[in-house]
């Protein structure tokens, strides 16, 4: 996803988030930009950047599902 929107990668952080620790399904929290950063706040106000974010997230989910599905496919 980072490559898709050309953003800086930060190391994953752990925390006591309900979504991550108290559900029976996989979940992620994605921080795409920070409104405390003036440049990023401006980007978030534009359709182009938001579309890039949505596309990158969608592609990441699709890649995850394809990889996960291929693990369970029987060998031919």
pLDDT digits (tens, 9 = 90+) for 5-45: 666 666 777 778 888 888 898 788 888 899 999 999 999 99
Minimal CA–CA distance to 32: which of 5, 61, 3?
Answer: 5
Q: In whole angstroms, how far apart are CA 69 and each of 9, 11, 15, 75?
A: 27, 26, 28, 13
Minimal CA–CA distance to 58: which of 19, 4, 7?
Answer: 4
pLDDT computed for residue 72 by the predictor: 64
Backbone angles phi, psi at 45, to 5 degrees: -80, -5
> Is pLDDT above 90 for 74?
no
pTM for the predicted model, two decimal places = 0.62
pLDDT computed for residue 17 by the predictor: 85
């Amino acid at each position: 996803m980072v490559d898709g929107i050309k953003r800086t990668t930060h190391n994953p952080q752990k925390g006591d988030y309900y979504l991550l620790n108290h559900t029976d399904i996989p979940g992620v929290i994605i921080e795409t930009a920070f409104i405390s950063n003036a440049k990023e706040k401006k980007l978030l106000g534009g359709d182009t950047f938001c579309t890039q974010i949505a596309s990158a997230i969608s592609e990441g989910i699709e890649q995850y599902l394809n990889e996960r599905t291929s693990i369970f496919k029987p060998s031919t």
